[in-house]
Amino acid sequence: MSMRALDVLIVGGGLHGLSAALHLARAGKRVTVLERSWVGRHASGASAAGVRTLNRPLVELPISLEAMDMWHKIEMIVGNDCGFNAGGQVRVAEDAKDLSVLERRFATVQGAGYHHEELVDRAELLRLVPAISPHCVGALVARRDGAADPHRTLLAFRRAAEAAGVSINEQCGVTAIERAGSDWRVRTEGRDFVAPVIVNAAGAWAGEIASMLGDNIPLGLKASMMMVTERVAPLLNPVVGVAGRPLSFKQSGQGTLVIGGGLQGRADIKTQRSFVDFDELAKGARAAVDLFPCIRFVRIVRTWAGMEAKTEDHQPVIGASPNGNGVFHAFGFSGHGFQLVPVVGAILADLILHDRTSRPIEAFSAKRLMKREAAA
């Protein structure tokens, strides 16, 4: 391959890197993905894979709803259903106070012109989730939501990207980036790569990559934890969350219960390792048993933590770099980026191919996070 045989280099082989690669390759771009470990090693492989529009911030709703339409035809996009089950997502209220929080959310969403969320009473909640504790009083529901299988999703996006001509290089960590005329030279532990365009989809390490490209973007870190139980008989179809508690609860196709909700473990960015905090995790187990008393003797068989970048306002960074010509960022998904995967790749392809996108992404500019630094 000659030095100039590449149009776009993507740093990071998580789902966002793969999705951008897929959309760009289908539009005729020659794309290479550089992944330090292996595809799906970090957040994308650790994800709960909830496909949720329910309770998303209003600024995310336009792209999240478009992503949801894409999930409903995901097989047409990547040639595999990714294990997506549109069983709905339900946000439960345990008492009148929490119900009033859900009522306010419902009014806000309706007021903004969105109708994907629905307020349901206790009877409908019990119909949707018969195993739920009878003390629950109502819920917000998004019936087209659901969950996918993160590993099937990774494999599907990888295969589709490779079929479109994307070259994926694993064990290929980026160590430095410098300008080479109007191009970028990307140094890895092995060979160098040169391309005019770079996509930064490096997850928890995206801040490091951004600073190599001239952008100083302050980022935090999330280390969300998950636990999985032994298999049980069919218990529920929707994904269940609760107002005011860290819980996301669902049953996989294999019958295991998959329990998360954003409880935080610990992550070490330098050694690229994350750790489970069992005292914290116990809070999630407690919440699960409070909501589903019938599972109190079910055994937990596996736990883990995954890591990714978190921004100050918990909104991602999606868009062109303020300082680096030909650089595009997609990171900082702050614990809810799985659902957005199909649409963010399409947005990056818009920006790289046409210099603009019709999708509303102003709220996701890198600049909003860099302001304080510029003012200092």
Ligand X SMILES: Cc1cc2nc3c(=O)[nH]c(=O)nc-3n(C[C@H](O)[C@H](O)[C@H](O)COP(=O)(O)OP(=O)(O)OC[C@H]3O[C@@H](n4cnc5c(N)ncnc54)[C@H](O)[C@@H]3O)c2cc1C
Which residues of the shown chain bind ligand X in the complex (CB under 6 A)?
11-17, 34-37, 41-44, 46-50, 52, 173-174, 201-205, 209, 224, 226, 260, 306, 308, 331, 333, 335-339
Torsion angle in degrees (nearest 10) through CA of 287, 313, 70, 92: 30
What length is written for the chain?
Answer: 376
* Spatial separation of the C-alpha atoms in residues 187 and 180, rounded to whole Å: 12
- Among residues 121, 201, 134, 194, the alpha carbon closest in space to that of 161 is found at 201
* Nearest distance in Å: CB 13, ligand X: 5
**In the structure encoding, which two tokens stand for residue 324, read together?**
């680096």
- Least distance from C-beta 309 to ligand X, angstroms? 8
Task: Output 126 or 228, the one with its CB closest to ligand X.
Answer: 228
Distance CA 125, CA 114 (A): 21
Nearer to ligand X, 83 or 260 (CB): 260
What is the closest distance, in whole angstroms, from the C-beta atom of residue 183 to ligand X in the complex?
A: 18
- How far apart are CB 164 and ligand X at their closest, in Å? 18
Tell me whether residue 99 or residue 311 sits nearer to ligand X (CB atom).
311
Proportion of the chain in helix, strand, coil states, percent, rounded to 5: 35, 25, 40
Closer CB to ligand X, 66 or 103, in the complex? 66
C-alpha closest to that of 338 among 213, 232, 226: 226
Token pair for 217: 């973007």
* List of residues 6+ apart from 176 with CB closer than 8 A: 186, 187, 212
Q: Which among 18, 3, 1 is positioned nearest to 330, based on CA atoms? A: 18
Identify which of residues 67 and 99 has a Cβ nearer to ligand X in the complex.
67
In this complex, which beta carbon is closest to ligand X, that of residue 334 or of residue 357?
334
The residue (of 29 and 56) whose beta carbon lies closer to ligand X is 56
CB 194 → ligand X: shortest distance, Å?
16
- The token pair at 143 is 């019936």
Closest to 36 measured CA to CA, from 272, 195, 348? 272
> With contact defined as beta carbons under 8 Å apart, do 128 and 143 qualify?
no
Minimum separation from the CB atom of position 202 to ligand X (A): 4
In the chain, the amino acid numbered 160 is: A
- Where on the phi/psi map is residue 53: left (φ > 0), alpha (ψ -120 to 50), or beta? alpha
97 or 273: CB nearest ligand X: 273
Closest approach, Cβ 123 to ligand X, in A, equals 28
Distance of CA 129 to the CA centre of its chain: 25
| Residue pair 208/202 in contact by the 8 Å Cβ criterion | yes
In whole angstroms, the minimum distance from the beta carbon of 355 to ligand X comes to: 23
